[in-house]
Amino acid sequence: MTAVQDYREYLKEILIPEEKLQQRIAELGAEISRDYQGKDLLLVCILRGGVMFLTDLVRYLTIPHEMDFMAVESYGKGGREHGELRLTMDLHTGIAGRDVLLVEDIIDSGHTVHQVLELLEMRKPRSLRVCTLLDKRERREVEVPIHYRGFEIPNLFVFGYGLDMDGYWRNLPFIAVPDLDRYQPPATPA
């Protein structure tokens, strides 16, 4: 198997540096702590991209809260277009009567988040809001209510800080833009 290409070989630019990310996440944590003071807050993170954001976000919360996780896949024609949502891992916590905050890494077309919100709404939470680190607004095809937004970004492919390049480089502390002409996808095992 060929080694995975070092991201520095195809890094085009750092779109959001670590310091700016952490500053905004701290601000979001303060807003959420203020808005949910005295409420029964449950943070729901969609795996896997949102984990780094959630982990840093909860460090800035000053209120009691719980966390839970779900994983979803969306399949459309050819695996590229939006389609039917498939739940691959459900919550372990009941959300009826709870104040639920859905935590996402990035929202672009809006289809997946829209379907997840519909699924969660059927479970009768007291309130249901969305917090996303990145909002790729110009790609929106389905409107979704975003209550807490880290950054609005242009329609660029990005990686780092939870977002991957073919499964790798989620661990980078910044949001980066790749030069796709210089990127070599990892070889798939035969």
Which one from 56, 99, 108, 135 is the annotated catalytic residue? 108
- Answer yes or no: 108 catalytic: yes
Count other Cβ atoms within 10 Å, centred on residue 101: 26
Alpha-carbon distance 110 to 141, whole Å?
A: 6
DSSP 40-65: -EEEEEEETTTHHHHHHHHHT--S-E
CA 76 vs CA 15, 119, 139, 142, 144: distances in Å: 30, 18, 17, 15, 20
Q: Active-site residue numbers? A: 108
